A and B are shown apart, each in its own frame.
Chain A
Amino acid sequence: MAEDLVLDSAIRDWVLIPLSLVMVLIGILRHFVTKLMRSSQPPDIKILKENQVVMRARNLRTCANLIPAKSFRSRRVYFSNEENGLLYVPKGQAQNPQAQMLTDPNMATDMMKKNLSMIIPQTLTFAWVNFFFSGFVAAKIPFPLTQRFRSMLQNGIDLSTVDVSYVSSRSWYFLNLFGLRGLFSLILGEENALDDTQRMMQMGGFGFDPTKSLSAEKDSLDIIQHDWALPRIEQRAESILRKLTN
């Protein structure tokens, strides 16, 4: 059982390499297709405005200690003022953007299109693999696995004495699916979004992000204690000069 099976080198040429090649090419194709489809959507002004407001508030938060106390406070009031502060969203309104995002026809069809463009190539390739490449040993994985993985990895092979390391082409497909993500991020740049979770986060971020992040920013802005750095500047300058002249 621990001896090496000799596998036909035709398997190498006609199964492993074509399958990997096909998956790489499909990934590249999908990347360009999504890029083309995405360019026909103008950015939403409201979302953009809210994102910019959040960024301004965040900048204020990080540089709070560099401006005098009074100006910091006046800026903070501008943001978190009850009546017309930029970050203040009354509770009633907070629900609406979410519901609106979900039922907005444009958003819905966009999300559906993106999900489809991800699911369809995977399903098709999987069906293709199952149809053509089943019933034989495709590869040997270099590390040993327990017997439990046998049913998962050796799907078309009906012998039970074959080592679990010898896997069918279905598991080669899955291995490719996960392993090629790294390769795609290298050759396609960051914009490939092949991860399901990544894409979910991106799409979910449009509807839910503004209201939640606004109130989160407001809260963190309220928490800040202002500690003006000017009185300590002299000590800082002295220590830096000491370091330079020593």
Chain B
Amino acid sequence: MAMHNDDSSSSDTKHSDGSNDLPGFSAENLQSNMKVIYYSRTFLSIIGGVIAGILGLTGLKGFVLYFLIMALASLGLAAKARFSIHEYFDSWNRVVLDAVLGGLMSFVLFWTFAYDIVHIF
């Protein structure tokens, strides 16, 4: 997807070298990588909401699906960064936790929407 291409092309110019002790995160690359995470998560939460609605999941099962999708997203992002997270982000928390809660609202909205349209016709 286009977003993942952005991830690799921008993170190739990422500053920090893993093998020495010189500091340095290039701030704009860090920020652009954050944006990639944010956009991927938002997009996935919308799609996940529609899927949950169409499948007719209710209650806890829907939230389980949401967290499952977020975990898969984290895994995908980590794999794309070739598992050397410290070259592209400043901490693990970013990859795993960022934008999870923000995507929750979009997920619920589209879940409600799809569920109603499909099931409560």
Query: Which residues of A line the B interface, CB within 8 A?
Result: 4-7, 9, 12, 16, 20, 62-63, 65-66, 139-144, 172, 175-176, 178-183, 185-186, 190, 229, 232, 236, 239-240, 243
Partner among A4, A139, A181, A190 whose Cβ is within 8 Å of the Cβ of B105: A181
**Would you call B60 and A236 a contact (CB within 8 A)?**
no
Query: What sequence of 0s and 1s flags, for each residue 96-112 of chain B, a beta carbon within 8 Å of any chain A beta carbon?
Result: 00000011011111111
Which of B107, B115, B120 has its CB near the most chain A CB atoms (within 10 A)? Answer: B120
Provide the main secondary structure of the chain B interface. helix
Query: Which residues of B line the A interface, CB within 8 A?
Result: 19-24, 35, 38-39, 42-43, 45-46, 52-53, 57-60, 62-63, 102-103, 105-113, 115-117, 119-121
Which of A63, A141, A239, A240 has its CB near the most chain B CB atoms (within 10 A)? Answer: A141
Whole-angstrom distance between the Cβ of A27 and the nearest chain B Cβ: 13
In the bound complex, residues from chain B placing their C-beta under 8 Å from that of A232 are 21
Which of A142, A144, A232 has its CB near the most chain B CB atoms (within 10 A)? Answer: A142
Partner among B21, B58, B105 whose Cβ is within 8 Å of the Cβ of A182: B105
The verdict on A239 contacting B19 (CB below 8 Å), with A142-B58, A179-B105 known, is yes
A182 vs B24: C-alpha distance when bound (angstroms): 31
**Would you call B108 and A179 a contact (CB within 8 A)?**
yes
Provide the main secondary structure of the chain A interface. helix
A117 vs B110: C-alpha distance when bound (angstroms): 27
Partner among A65, A140, A175, A243 whose Cβ is within 8 Å of the Cβ of B109: A175
**Would you call A185 and B42 a contact (CB within 8 A)?**
yes
A47 vs B30: C-alpha distance when bound (angstroms): 25
In the bound complex, residues from chain A placing their C-beta under 8 Å from that of B38 are 185
28 contacts between A and B (CB under 8 A): A4-B120, A7-B120, A9-B121, A12-B116, A16-B113, A62-B23, A65-B22, A139-B120, A140-B116, A141-B112, A142-B59, A142-B111, A142-B115, A143-B60, A143-B63, A144-B58, A175-B108, A175-B112, A179-B105, A179-B106, A180-B109, A181-B102, A182-B46, A183-B42, A185-B42, A186-B43, A229-B21, A240-B20
